Amino acid sequence: MAFSLHPEPARLLTDRRALVTGGSSGIGEGTCYELAAHGAAVAVNYNGNAQSADRICADIERAGGRAVPVEMDVADEHSVHDGFTTAAEVLGGLDLLVNNAGIERPFKLVDMPLAEWRRVLDVNLTGAFLCSREAARIMCEDPSPATPRAILMMSSVHEVIPWERFSHYCASKGGMKLFAQTIARELAPHGIRVASVAPGAIATPINADVLADPAAKQKVVDEIPYGRWGEVSDIARAVAWLASEQADYVVGTTLFVDGGMTLYPNFA
């Protein structure tokens, strides 16, 4: 893809060193590109899809940015430890984590296999815990850092909106909300800001089934006052801002980027 860095005066993240989980596709991919465009060096985490992570890193490096692929299963404690150690070594430290990795597959409660419930909670919530813990340990090692530090969650409108057939996903995002707010209190005294971005319906591979069905696609638009699906860039730009010093006083907050979905348009 034709990727270029933002012009220097417009860059918000010069000298920052970031790790984006689930960085090889969807919102994670767009976030890697946007952080890099703002001057950050980016560890592009992937779990299996090495080809995509390599392509993203090559695009960024070709444009004069810095990016490195890091394989890691966010739900596996040892894998997370190794992945963060590698990323911090290669990037020369770490001052920004984006907990983006997430999965979903619909099941009614009565049909929900325990393995499916566990997998979604493991990746979406335990993954955010393991990665935040690892990042915080690395960040807290340096009591007087030269760069600002932040841990950001890729939450969802479903941290507040219940969603039938997605009780596991909603539980993971509802859990993420209070997890984020709690560690925001713990880490703020260390100068580490924790905050969340909550996307609405964004056109990414996670929604491929809905996007392929015109009626289902329109039904989602009907739930969005702004009248359109979100683009990956809508979210990636919000993440870059939230990570930057421009958002220096934003602590423990969720920024909804959802075209108004959380305004409950169908409630009259």
Please state, in angstroms and rounded to a whole number, the distance separating the CA atoms of residues 15 and 38: 10
Exactly one of 104, 136, 138, 152 binds ligand BGC (CB under 6 A); that residue is: 104
Nearer to ligand BGC by Cβ, of 40 and 224: the residue is 224
Closest CA to 34 of 250, 251, 243: 243
Please state, in angstroms and rounded to a whole number, the distance separating the CA atoms of residues 149 and 146: 9
The dihedral sign for the CA sequence 226, 260, 207, 79: positive
Q: Are 154 and 125 in contact (CB under 8 A)?
A: no
Q: State the nearest-atom distance from the C-beta of 174 to ligand BGC, in Å.
A: 12
**Position 156 contacts ligand BGC (CB under 6 A):** yes
The token pair that represents 259 in the structure block: 């075209």
Q: State the nearest-atom distance from the C-beta of 161 to ligand BGC, in Å.
A: 7
CB-based closest residue to ligand BGC: 156
Exactly one of 160, 206, 250, 251 binds ligand BGC (CB under 6 A); that residue is: 206
**Position 91 contacts ligand BGC (CB under 6 A):** no
* CA distance to 174, 232, 266, per residue, from 10 (Å): 35, 20, 39
Give backbone dihedrals phi and psi of 192, rounded to 5 degrees, phi first: -105, 115
**Position 235 contacts ligand BGC (CB under 6 A):** no
To the query of whether residue 226 is one of the catalytic residues in this protein, the response is no
Q: State the nearest-atom distance from the C-beta of 240 to ligand BGC, in Å.
A: 20
Closest CA to 158 of 173, 178, 168: 173
Choice among 169, 226, 249, 264 that is catalytic:
169
Q: Are 200 and 227 in contact (CB under 8 A)?
A: no
Q: Are 17 and 41 in contact (CB under 8 A)?
A: yes
Exactly one of 26, 28, 200, 259 binds ligand BGC (CB under 6 A); that residue is: 200
Nearer to ligand BGC by Cβ, of 41 and 157: the residue is 157
The token pair that represents 175 in the structure block: 């859990």
The stretch near ligand BGC (CB under 6 A) out of 109-117, 120-128, 200-208, 249-257 is: 200-208
The stretch near ligand BGC (CB under 6 A) out of 38-46, 201-209, 232-240, 241-249 is: 201-209
Nearer to ligand BGC by Cβ, of 3 and 163: the residue is 163
Q: Are 113 and 33 in contact (CB under 8 A)?
A: no
How many of the chain's residues bind ligand BGC (CB under 6 A)?
A: 8
For 244, residues 6+ apart whose C-beta sits below 8 A from its C-beta are 12, 13, 38, 148
Q: State the nearest-atom distance from the C-beta of 38 to ligand BGC, in Å.
A: 24
**Position 99 contacts ligand BGC (CB under 6 A):** no
**Position 193 contacts ligand BGC (CB under 6 A):** no
> Would you please indicate which residues are annotated as catalytic (active-site) residues?
169
Applying CB under 6 A, the residues found at the interface with ligand BGC are: 104, 156-158, 200-201, 206-207
